Structure 1
Amino acid sequence: MQTETILYIILAGIIALSLALFQYMYKTKKRKRVDFLLVFLRFITLFSVFLLLINPKFDSTTYFNEKPNLLIAVDNSESVKYLDQDQKTRELVVLLQQNKALNERFDIAFFSFGKTINSLDNLSFDEKQTNPTVVFDQFSQVYGNAIAPLILISDGNQTYGNDYEFAAQNYKQAVYPVILGDTTQYTDLKIEQLNVNKYAYLKNKFPVEIIAVYNGSEEVSTQLTVSSGNTIVYSENLTFNHEQSSRLVNMSLPANSPGVHSYKAELKPLSNEKNTVNNIKNFAVEVIDRKTHVAIISDIMHPDLGALKKAIESNEQRQASIIKPSDFTNLSDDFQQVIIYQPNQNFKEVYSEIELLNLNTFTILGTQTNWLEFNKLQPYMQQTVTNQYEDFQPSLNSNYSVFIIDDLNFSDFPPLQTEFGATTFSLPIETILYKTVSGIQLKEPLLYTYEVDQKRAAVLNGEGVWRWRAQSYLDEQSFHDFDNFIGKIVQYLDSGQQRSRLNISYESFYNGTDNVILTAQFFNKTYEFDDTANLEITVKNKENEQSQTVPFILKQTNFQVDLSGLEAGDYEFTVKTQHENISQSGEFKILEYNVEQQFLNANVSKLQNLANQNQGVSYFIDDIDALVPQLLNDERFVTIQKSIKKVVPLLDWKFLLAFIALSLSAEWFIRKYNGLI
C-alpha cells in the first residue's frame, strides 16, 4: 500500500473522530456513558464512509508452479499398420500415459495425426494421408512461447503437404522422433512416379511418363505393361541393376473415343519381392472432343493479362492467347470466346467481328478504359463518366443462380479500381459480386453476367484481378481456388445449357487419395438461393449394384457432401430434393490407389535429421528405454515458478456498506431508546 494512501486513512480517522466528538461532546456539560457509545458509532460510520471514498488498495502476489509441456504426436496413418508397427505403437502410448515420473514432471498432451491433427482418442491407423507438417505448424502457434518438447512417433513417410523437415525449423522446441520401423533393405521394384495430363483430345495421342525404380544389388529383368480393361496398350521389357536402379519410360497412347478412360501401369513382380502393391499404379484420362481457345484482347500491358492466361490454362481443356485489337480480325476464326480487356477507340472492329461471329465475351473494365468510346461500342451498359476513380472491394451475392460460385473470402480480397459514377443497364443482369466501399455494400454490380439474343456475356467492372490470384495463393498456398473461379466463368461462356434450379459441381474422376466432394446449389422459383432445402444424393456402384443415400450439408453459399469413404470403382448418382420433383444425375470414377502402402521402410535419415536440427535425439521403437530418462534429466525442461501480481481493495465495498448501515441503525436505536430523538 502506498504511503499516500496510509496518510489519507489516518487523516480520515482524525476527521471522523473530530466530527463525532463535535456532535456529541461539544458544549455538553454532563457526559454519560451512552454519549461515548454514540461517539464511537458515529466515528465508525464516518470513518467507513471515508474509507469507501478513499478505496485503499494493496498489491497481492500469488505464486504457482508451471510444469513444462510434453507433446506426443502419433502417426495414425495406414503405413504404420502396413509396416507392422501398430501394436508396438499402442504399447508405447500406454507406457507413456502410465509413466508416473513423466506425469509428475510434465503436462502431457497426446495427439494423433494423418492429413490433419486431432486429440488422441484411439489409434485406428486408417488415415489415408500423412502430413507431419500440420503438427509443427499448429504447435508453433499454440506453444510458441512455452517449454514444449515434442515426441513424434512416426515412420517419417510423408504423403501430403509441404516438407515437414523445413516446417520444423519454425518450431523452436526439442523434437524426439520415435522411428516406427527399421533400416532393413528389401529387394523391391516400384513405380515411383507416373505423369499424365488429366485431359486429352479426341483423335490425338497423349503422353505418359513412368519412372520405375529398383532397390537391390543383383541384375533383374521385368516387364512394364499398360492396360485398359483386358487390353494391353503398351508393353516394354526393362532391366535393372545396382548401377542402373531407375528407368524413365515415355509413351504416347491414342485417344480414340470421348469420355473417361482408366488405365493400369504394372511392373511384373520379382519372385522374392515383399511389397507388390507399389508395382501398380492406376490412372485415368478424360478424352474431350474439342478445346476452348480464348482470345484475351488488350491494347495495353497489365499484370491482369498474365493472371487471366495462367488461370484459364490451368485447365488443359482451355488455351488462351493475348493479342492486340488489330490482330483479332485475322485470327478470329481460331477462338471460341473473347476476353475484352479495357476497351478503347481501337476496339471498334473487334466488337463488329464479335457481333458477326456471335461470340460470347468476358469484358474487364478499369482505369485505362476509354469510357466514352465504350458507351458507344455496346448498348447494354452505360457508365457515367466522371474521370475519377474509386477502389471497390467485392461482396459475394449468395443468390446468384446461374452456376455455382464458391466463396473465396472475397471480402478479404484487395480492392479493384474503376470509374466512379452510376451505371445503368438496358437489360436484366445477374450479379455475382457487389461493390463494397468502407465495409458498406452498394447496390451496384462489380461482376455480373447477362444473356441476350442467345449470346452470353460477363463483365468485371474493375482492374487488378492479379492481386486476387496472389491473395488466393497466400490464403490457401495454391492458385487452384482462383483459377477454378475464372474457369467457371469461362465454362459458363462456353456452355449453352439452360439455367437450372439445381446445379451440381463434381469431377469426372478422382484419384484414390483425393477427397471426393460434390457441391450443389438449389434455388427457389424466383432463383434465390434456398438454404432451407433438403438435398440428398443416392450413389450406386455400377459393378456390385450397391447404393447408399447421403444428405448434403449446408456450407455457406452451397451444399456439400463428402463421399471420400467410397471404394474404388465406377459410380452413378442422383441428387434430388425431398420436397420438390427436381433432380440431377451424373457419373464419376474413383481410381484405386493407396499411397500409404508404397513404403517398405521408415524414413530413418529424415527423422534423424529432424532430431539433430531441433536439438533432440531419435530413437527406434525397439530401443526407447533411454527416452524417459533423457526427458527427466534434461535441464531445459524444468518447472518454473511464476507469480501473479494483482491490485485488490483493502475492504470489500459491500461489507463497508453493510457496516455503515448497521452502525447507523444502532446509533438511531440507542438515541431513540434514550429519548434523544
Structure 2
Amino acid sequence: MQTEIVLYIVIAGIIAFLLARFQYLNKQKSVSKRYMLFIFLRCIAIFAILLLIINPTFNKTSFSIEKPNLVLAIDNSSSIKYLGHENGATTLINELRNNSSLNEKFDLNIYSFGKDLKSSDSITFSENQTNISQAFEQLSQVYYQSIAPTLLLTDGNQTYGNDYEMYAKTYNQPIFPIILGDTITYIDLKIQQLNVNKYTFLNNKFPVEAILNYTGTKTINTRFQLKFNDKVIHEQPISFSKNENSKIINITLPANKVGVLNLEASIQPLENERNKINNSKKFAIEVLSQKTKIAIISDIAHPDIGAFKKSLESNEQRLIEILEPNSDLANLTDFQLYILYQPNRKFDKVIEFIKSQKQNALFVVGSKTDLNFLNRISKNYSFDITNQYENYQAELNTNYAPFLIDDIDFQSFPPLYSNYGDVNFIRPVESILNKTINGLSLNTPLLATIEDNGIREAIFLGENIWQWRAQSYLNEDSFELFDKFLGKVIQYLASNTLKSRLNIDYQSFYDGNSNLIIKAEYFDKNYAFDNRETLTITVVDEQTKEKKVFPLVLKYNYYQVDLSNLPASKYSFKIETSGSKISKTGSFTVLDFNVEQQFINANVNKLKKLATNSEGKEYFISGTNTLVEDLLIDSRFVPIQKSNKKDIPLIDWKYLLAIIALALGAEWFLRKYHGLI
C-alpha cells in the first residue's frame, strides 16, 4: 500500500475520533462510560465511511495447481477402417479415457481429424481426406503456452496438405505416435498416378500417362488396360521385378465425341494381392467442339500482358495470341474476343475492324492510354482528362447481375495505377469492381461491362494487374482463384448469350474426394440480386433413377448447395425457383475414387522420425502396454503451481458495510434504551 494512502487512513481515523468526540462531549463537563461507548461506536461508523471514500486497495495472492494437458489426436479417416484397425483404435481410446491414474495427472483433451481438426471424441473412421499437418497447425495455436504431450493415433498416411514431419518441428510438444499398422510389407500393384488433361478438342488426340508401382520381391507378369464404357480400348503386357518396380505407360487416344468421356485404367491384380482397389482408377476428359481464340493487342511491353496470357491459358479451352496494333487485319478474323491493352491512335484500324465485325472487346486503360483517342472512337463513355494519376484498390459489387463472381479478397490486392478523373458513361453500365481509396468507396467503376444490341464490352480502368495475380498466389498458394475470376469475365465477353435471371456455376465432372459444390445466382426483373427467393435442386441418378431434392443455402451474394456425399455415378439436375418458376438444368459425373483406400501399409518410418524429432516415442497399436506407465513416470510432465496476484479495492469488501450498519444500529439502540432519543 502506498505511503500516501496510509497517511489518508491515519487522517481519517483522527477526523472520525474528533467528530465523534465533538458530537457527544461539546456540552458535557465529564465523560461517563456510556458516552465513551457512544463515541466509540460513532467513531467506528465515521471511520468506515471515510475508508470507503479513500477506497484503498489490498494485494491478494492465490495459488492453484495446473495439470499438464494430454492431447489425444485421432485419425478419423476411412483408411483406418480399410486397414482393419478401427477396433483396436476404439479399444485404446476407451482405455485412455477411463484410466483414473492418467486423468489424475493430466487433463485429457480428445480431438479427431480428417480434412479438419475437431474437438470431439465421436469417432467414425469415415472421412475421405487426411491432413495431419493442419491438425498440428491448429493444435500449436491452442497449446503454444502449455505442456501438452500429444498422442497421435494414426496410420501416418496423409492425402493432402504440407509435410507433417517438417511442420511438427514447430509444434514444440513431445509427440507419441500410436501406429495403426505393422512393419510387414505386402505384395501390391498400384496405379500411383494418372496424368491427363482435363479438356481436349473434337477430332484431336489426347495423351494419357500412367505411373505404375510394384511392391514385392518376385518377378511378376500382368496386363495394363484402358476401358471406355466397359470396353477395352487399349491393352498391353507389363512385367515387374524387385529392381524394376516402376513403369510409365504413355498412350494417345482419339477424341471422336463431344462431351464427357469416362474412362478407367486398370492393372490385372495378382492372385495373393491384399489391396485390389488401388489397381484401378477412373478418370474423365471433357471433349469440346473448339477453342476460344483471344487476341491481346498492345503497343507497349508490360508485365500485365504476360499475366493476362498466363491466366487465360490456365484453361485449355482458350488459345491466346499477342499482336501489335499494326498487324495485318487478315490476322484478326479468327478471334472471338479482343483484349486492347492501353490503346492509342495506332489502334484506329483495329477498333474499326472490331466494330465492323460486331465483336466483343476488353479495354484496359492505364497511364499509357490515349484518352483523347478513346473519347473520339467510343460511343459508350468519355473521360475527363486531367493528366493526373491515382492508385485505386477494388471492392466487389455484390449486385452485379450478368454472371456469378466470387469475392477473392479483392481488398487485399495492391492498388492499380489509373487515371484520375471521372468517366462519363453514355450507355447503361454494370460494375463488377468499384474503386476505393484508403478503404473509402468512391462508387465509381474500376472494372465494368456494357452491353448494347448484343455486343459486349468491358473496361478495366487500371494497370499493374500482374500484381493482383501475384498477390492471389501469396494469399492462396495458387493462381486458381484469380485465374477463375478473370476467366469468368472472358467467358462472358466471348459469348453473346442473352442475360439470364438465373445463373449456375458447376463442373462437368468431379473426383470422388473433391468438394461437389454447385452455386447459383438469382436476379429480379430489374436484374438486382434477390436474396428473398427460395431455390431448390433436384438431382437424378442416371443409373438408379433415384431422385433427391436439396435446398440451396444463401451465402454472401449467391446460393449454393454441397453435394459432396453423392456416390459415384452420372447425374442430371434441375435448379428452380419457388416464386418465379425459373429453372436451369445440367449434368455432371462423380468419379469413383477414394484416395484413403489406396494404402496398404502404415507409414511407419515417417512416424518413427516424427517421434524422434519431437523427443517422443512411437508405439504400435498391438504394443501399447507400457504407454500409460511411460506417460505417468515421465518427469517432463509434472503439475505446475501458479500464483495469481490481484488488487482488491476495499469497496468490494462487503463486511465493511455490515460494520457501518452494526455500529450505527447499536448506537441508536443504546441511545433509545437510555432515553436519549
Q: Tell me the matched-pair count.
A: 677
Unpaired runs of 5+ residues, structure 2, are: none
Distance 1:36 1:496, change over 3 A: same
**Post-superposition shift, 1:354?**
2.2
1:575 is matched by which residue type in structure 2? I
TM-score (normalizing by structure 2)? 0.94
**CA contact 1:261–1:287 (8 Å) conserved in 2:** yes
**Post-superposition shift, 1:199?**
0.1
Cα distance in 2 for partners of 1:36, 1:391 equals: 84
Distance 1:100 1:278, change over 3 A: same
Task: State the match for 2:169 in structure 1.
Answer: 169
**Post-superposition shift, 1:313?**
1.4
Distance 1:668 1:441, change over 3 A: farther
Q: Which moved more, 1:192-201 or 1:176-185?
A: 176-185
Task: State the match for 1:477 in structure 2.
Answer: 477
Cα distance in 2 for partners of 1:47, 1:386 equals: 77
Give SS of 1:273's match.
coil
Task: State the match for 1:630 in structure 2.
Answer: 630
Cα distance in 1 for partners of 2:307, 2:630 equals: 53
Cα distance in 1 for partners of 2:269, 2:35 equals: 112
Task: State the match for 2:186 in structure 1.
Answer: 186
Give SS of 1:607's match.
helix
Q: How large is the RMSD of aligned CA atoms in angstroms? A: 2.4
Q: Which moved more, 1:561-570 or 1:297-306?
A: 297-306
Cα distance in 1 for partners of 2:305, 2:86 equals: 53
Task: State the match for 2:83 in structure 1.
Answer: 83
Task: State the match for 2:305 in structure 1.
Answer: 305
Distance 1:659 1:447, change over 3 A: farther
Task: State the match for 1:7 in structure 2.
Answer: 7
Cα distance in 1 for partners of 2:425, 2:273 equals: 71
Q: Which moved more, 1:240-249 or 1:118-127?
A: 118-127
Q: Confirm whether residue 54 of structure 1 aligns to residue 51 of structure 2.
A: no
Distance 1:406 1:434, change over 3 A: same
Distance 1:305 1:628, change over 3 A: farther
Q: Which moved more, 1:78-87 or 1:446-455?
A: 446-455
Task: State the match for 2:104 in structure 1.
Answer: 104
**Post-superposition shift, 1:328?**
7.0
Cα distance in 1 for partners of 2:665, 2:329 equals: 103
Cα distance in 1 for partners of 2:12, 2:300 equals: 82
Distance 1:660 1:271, change over 3 A: closer
Cα distance in 1 for partners of 2:43, 2:420 equals: 74
Distance 1:266 1:51, change over 3 A: same
**Post-superposition shift, 1:563?**
0.9
Cα distance in 1 for partners of 2:267, 2:237 equals: 9
| 1:249-648 correspondence to structure 2 within 5 Å | 249-327=249-327, 329=329, 331-648=331-648
Give SS of 2:123's match.
coil
**Post-superposition shift, 1:668?**
8.2
Q: Which moved more, 1:81-90 or 1:386-395?
A: 386-395
**CA contact 2:52–2:650 (8 Å) conserved in 1:** no
Task: State the match for 2:228 in structure 1.
Answer: 228
Cα distance in 1 for partners of 2:371, 2:49 equals: 76
Cα distance in 2 for partners of 1:260, 1:403 equals: 24
Q: What do residues 590-638 of structure 1 show as CA deviations (whole Å, max 9, x unaligned)? A: 1111111111111111111111222211111111122222222222222
Task: State the match for 1:122 in structure 2.
Answer: 122
| 1:651-670 correspondence to structure 2 within 5 Å | 651-652=651-652
Q: Which moved more, 1:428-437 or 1:151-160?
A: 428-437
Give SS of 1:325's match.
coil
**CA contact 2:574–2:584 (8 Å) conserved in 1:** yes
Give SS of 1:236's match.
strand
Give SS of 1:606's match.
helix
Cα distance in 1 for partners of 2:331, 2:55 equals: 86
Distance 1:525 1:453, change over 3 A: closer
Distance 1:60 1:256, change over 3 A: same
**Post-superposition shift, 1:28?**
4.5
Distance 1:495 1:658, change over 3 A: farther
**Post-superposition shift, 1:67?**
1.3
Q: Which moved more, 1:210-219 or 1:412-421?
A: 412-421
Distance 1:580 1:471, change over 3 A: same
Q: What do residues 22-53 of structure 1 show as CA deviations (whole Å, max 9, x unaligned)? A: 44434644556665455445534442343223
**Post-superposition shift, 1:209?**
0.4
1:453 is matched by which residue type in structure 2? N
Q: Which moved more, 1:118-127 or 1:499-508?
A: 118-127
Q: What do residues 425-466 of structure 1 show as CA deviations (whole Å, max 9, x unaligned)? A: 000011122222333322212221111232111222223333
Distance 1:655 1:323, change over 3 A: farther
**Post-superposition shift, 1:651?**
4.0
2:438 is matched by which residue type in structure 1? S
Cα distance in 2 for partners of 1:345, 1:480 equals: 35
Percent same amino acid at aligned positions? Answer: 49
Distance 1:561 1:7, change over 3 A: same
**Post-superposition shift, 1:657?**
6.4
1:631 is matched by which residue type in structure 2? L
Q: What do residues 529-558 of structure 1 show as CA deviations (whole Å, max 9, x unaligned)? A: 111211111111111111111111111111
**Post-superposition shift, 1:334?**
4.1
**Post-superposition shift, 1:247?**
0.8
Cα distance in 1 for partners of 2:510, 2:300 equals: 40
Distance 1:492 1:601, change over 3 A: same
1:61 is matched by which residue type in structure 2? T
**CA contact 1:227–1:234 (8 Å) conserved in 2:** yes
Cα distance in 2 for partners of 1:18, 1:265 equals: 103
Distance 1:378 1:602, change over 3 A: same
Give SS of 2:294's match.
strand
**CA contact 1:52–1:653 (8 Å) conserved in 2:** no
Cα distance in 1 for partners of 2:613, 2:308 equals: 42
**Post-superposition shift, 1:358?**
2.7
**CA contact 2:168–2:610 (8 Å) conserved in 1:** yes
Cα distance in 2 for partners of 1:301, 1:140 equals: 47
Q: Which moved more, 1:654-663 or 1:331-340?
A: 654-663
**Post-superposition shift, 1:676?**
8.6
Task: State the match for 2:243 in structure 1.
Answer: 243
Q: What do residues 372-393 of structure 1 show as CA deviations (whole Å, max 9, x unaligned)? A: 3332332322222233333333
Q: What do residues 219-272 of structure 1 show as CA deviations (whole Å, max 9, x unaligned)? A: 211111111113322221111111211111111110111111111111112222
Unpaired runs of 5+ residues, structure 1, are: none
